[in-house]
Amino acid sequence: MQETLNRIARYAATKNANVMVIIDQINEKTRAERLPRMYSHILGRAADFPEMRRIIEPPMHVDSKLSANIQFADWVAACVTRAVDYQLIDESPYKWVTDPTTLPDVRNAFTYESKLRLWHSSVKDPNNHELFKSHRVTQLRGGAVAAATSDTIPWEKIRAAAAQARRSH
């Protein structure tokens, strides 16, 4: 979340605009835990990074059932998730997400800093709208093509960790 706040602030600074951050509320306990950390991050960086002052309120949590904008953000996140799945898993059923006629407004709709960070991976990090291209971006940092299959990516471990995180909040 901290990197997301940094990017939002930098983007706002490039547009000479102020922003309010609104986040889908998960539950009250999670909101109560996140809010002080986010506010501390914003205020802690503001002295050295003046763009952080572009975030004019602490991030607010809104139930997606009450906000069409949050519902739209959920839809965008689902679309990006399917594009990531297609890019990283050879047998992915989501090739349709890369068809320019299916989602024409998705192309070039990302900020320059939009990037999927594949932490500790030999695969090059996809940048901007590369996720929605039909050719797979799973190239190793040196240029070779990676064999990214569900056998090489521990999806079950990732899903189990995510489920455990949700249960603990």
Same domain, 17 and 89: no
Q: What global pTM score does this model have?
A: 0.61
Q: Is 70 a member of any domain?
A: no
Q: Is 69 a member of any domain?
A: no
Same domain, 56 and 93: no
Q: Is 124 a member of any domain?
A: yes
| Count of structural domains within the chain | 2
In angstroms, rounded to a whole number, what is the distance separating the alpha carbons of residues 30 and 98?
Answer: 34
Q: Is 87 a member of any domain?
A: yes
Q: Is 117 a member of any domain?
A: yes
Instruction: Report pLDDT digits (tens) over 85-121.
Output: 888 787 889 888 888 888 777 766 666 667 677 777 7
Q: Is 114 a member of any domain?
A: yes
Cα–Cα distance list, 15 to 18, 60, 79, 89, 118 (Å): 9, 22, 26, 36, 28
Phi, psi of 113 (to 5 degrees): -80, -5
Q: Which domain holds residue 94?
A: 79-168
Instruction: Report pLDDT digits (tens) over 13-48.
Output: 999 999 998 887 777 787 788 888 888 899 899 999
